[in-house]
Chain A
Amino acid sequence: MINKTVENAAEAVKDIQDGATLMMGGFGLSGIPENCITALLQKGVRDLTIVSNNAGVDDFGIGLFLQKRMVKKMISSYVGENDEFERQLLSGELEVELLPQGTLAERIRAGGAGIPAFFTPAGVGTEVAVGKEVREFNGKLYLMELALEADFALVKAWKGDTAGNLIFKGTARNFNPIMATAGKITIAEVEELVPAGSLDPNQIHTPGIYVQRIFQGNNYEKRIEQRTVTR
C-alpha cells in the first residue's frame, strides 16, 4: 500500500499558495475540514478561489477566511448565512458564481471522472443559462455545463486509513466524496486514522486512489447551525 499519511494539517496545506483554487467539502457547517481551515488561517494565503456549497457563517468555517480577506471568488449554491460575505460582495471585494446545487455537484463529479461537460435541465430559461449552450434532447431543453477541478480538494471524513481510503458519517458526507475525486491534490482530514487493512474494503466510500494526503484531525467543534429538538 502507498502510505498517504502526513503529520498534521500544517504540513498537509504547506504548499497551498496565493491564488489557488480550493474545493472544500461540507454542507452548511456539517462535514467541513475544520483542521485545514485553521491551518490555512495560520498560513495566511490570499486570493483564493473556493468551490464550496456554502460560505460558512461569520465566525466559523469559510466565514473565517472572509474575515481575513483571503477569498477572491466563491463558487457556491447558497451563501445566505453570512453577513461579512454580503458586505464584501456589495463592496466588490468578492466575486461570486452561484450555481444550482445539483449542477455544482455534477460539475465536480464530472471533473473527477474525466467528463469535460454535460447537459442538465436545471436553470433552463433562467439567468443561470446566460451564455451557455442550450440543446434539445427528446423535446426537452438542457444547458451545457463544464466540469470543475481544483488545485486542492480539502475534505473531511469520519474514518480513514493510511492508504487514503475514507468512510464518512451521516449527512457530513455531502460534497466530500465528489470533491475528493476532483482535486489535483486531495487532502483528507479524518476523526480517526487507522492502519491500512483495518477498514472493511466493502464499506469504503472514497477509495484511496483519490487521496494524496491524510491526517488525523483534532478538536472538532462540529458547530450546529440550527439546533432543532423534539421535547
Chain B
Amino acid sequence: MLTKEQIAKRIAQEVEHRQYINLGIGIPTLVANYIPTHLDVVLQSENGLLGIGPFPKESEVDPDLINAGKQTITMLPGSAIFDSAQSFAMIRGGHVHLTILGAMEVSEQGDIANWKVPGKMVKGMGGAMDLVASAKHIIVAMQHCSKDGHSKLLPTCTLPLTGIRCVKKIVTDLAVLEIAPEGGFILKERAPGITVEEIKSKTAGKLIINGEIPEMSFD
C-alpha cells in the first residue's frame, strides 16, 4: 500500500516537459516535491499566480503571496500575477494542461465527486468545478477505499458531483487506473506487493484487466 508521498511520487511520473499544471489541496500539493528537475513545468495557483515556488524562509514570509490553500509561498523567476477572472480564463480556455486533484468518489464513466457530503457542513467547491470541466488531462489522487473500508471507485457516484466524464487517470494507494472510453476502470499498474485480486475486491465499479499487470516502479 502506498503512502501519500508515494502516491504523489507516482503521479509526478505523469508530468511532461513544458506543461502548465494546477495542483489541488492535499496529496496533489505533494506532487510538486517529486517533479523531475530536468522537466520545465509551471505550477498555476487559481488565486492568481503562475510560477509557484517553495515555501518561504521565515524572514521572507509575505501575506500578499499565498497559494489557493492559503499557504504562504514564494514565486519563481518568470512568475506572473493576475486577477481571478484571468486565472479561470486560462483554466477554462484549456491553457492549463494538467489538473491533479483529490476525490471522495470516481465513477467508471469518469465522473468525480469531491466537494460535498450530505448532512455534513458544506464548505464549497472552490475552483474544482471549473478545473474539472476544462483541463485537458485530469488525474485523481486518492485512497482506493474510504476510512470505513468502502470502495471509492464506483459504478456511479453516490455523492453530489463536481464534474461529469472528466477524469482520465486515477492513482490510489493500491493501483494506477485509467477510465475506458466506453466506461470502466482499466487496471494499469499495481502498488508493490498488492495483488490483482485485492484490487479487484476493493473496486466496486467495473475493473478491466488486460493481461499481466506490472508493479509500479519508483526509479
Contact = CB atoms under 8 A, between A and B. Distances in A.
B83 A223 contact: no
Contacts of A77: 124-127
A96 B54 CA distance: 35
Interface residues of A, number: 58
A172 B64 contact: yes
B81 interface: yes
Given A126-B160, A174-B83, A222 B64 contact: yes
A225 B67 CA distance: 11
Interface in A105-134: 105-106, 108-109, 120-128
A28 B66 CA distance: 9
Contacts of B15: none
Contacts of B58: 229
Contacts of A99: 125
Contacts of B38: none
B84 A227 contact: no
Given A228-B55, A230-B54, A101 B88 contact: yes
B121 A124 contact: no
Given A173-B48, A229-B55, A125 B125 contact: no
A171 B134 CA distance: 23
A105 B56 CA distance: 28
Per DSSP, are chain B's interface residues mostly helix, strand or loop, or mixed?
loop
A27 B129 contact: no
A224 B72 CA distance: 8
A195 interface: no
Contacts of B164: 124-126
B61 A102 contact: no
Interface string A25-62: 00111110000000000000000000001000000000
A76 interface: yes
A228 B121 CA distance: 26
Contacts of B67: 171
Contact of B92 (A28, A79, A121, A222): A121
A225 B73 CA distance: 12
Interface string A171-203: 111111110000000000000000000000000
Interface in B100-134: 111, 121-130, 133-134
Contacts of A168: 81
Contacts, number: 174
Given A122-B92, A226-B66, A229-B61, A171 B130 contact: no
B123 A78 contact: yes
Interface in A122-152: 122-128
A109 B70 contact: no
B49 A102 contact: no
Contacts of B85: 105-106, 108-109, 178
A79 B65 CA distance: 20
Given A77-B125, A223-B63, A101 B84 contact: yes
A180 B73 CA distance: 26
Contact of B64 (A103, A106, A170, A175): A170
Contact of A171 (B47, B55, B125, B160): B47
A76 B122 CA distance: 12
Nearest to A221: B63
B173 interface: no
Contacts of A224: 61, 63, 66, 72
Contacts of B66: 27-28, 30, 171, 224-226
26 contacts: A28-B66, A29-B63, A78-B124, A80-B123, A101-B46, A103-B129, A105-B88, A108-B85, A122-B134, A126-B129, A126-B160, A127-B160, A128-B125, A158-B64, A173-B81, A174-B48, A176-B83, A178-B83, A222-B63, A222-B64, A223-B63, A225-B71, A227-B61, A228-B55, A230-B54, A230-B55
Interface of A: 27-31, 53, 76-81, 86, 89-90, 96, 98-106, 108-109, 120-128, 158, 168-178, 205, 222-230
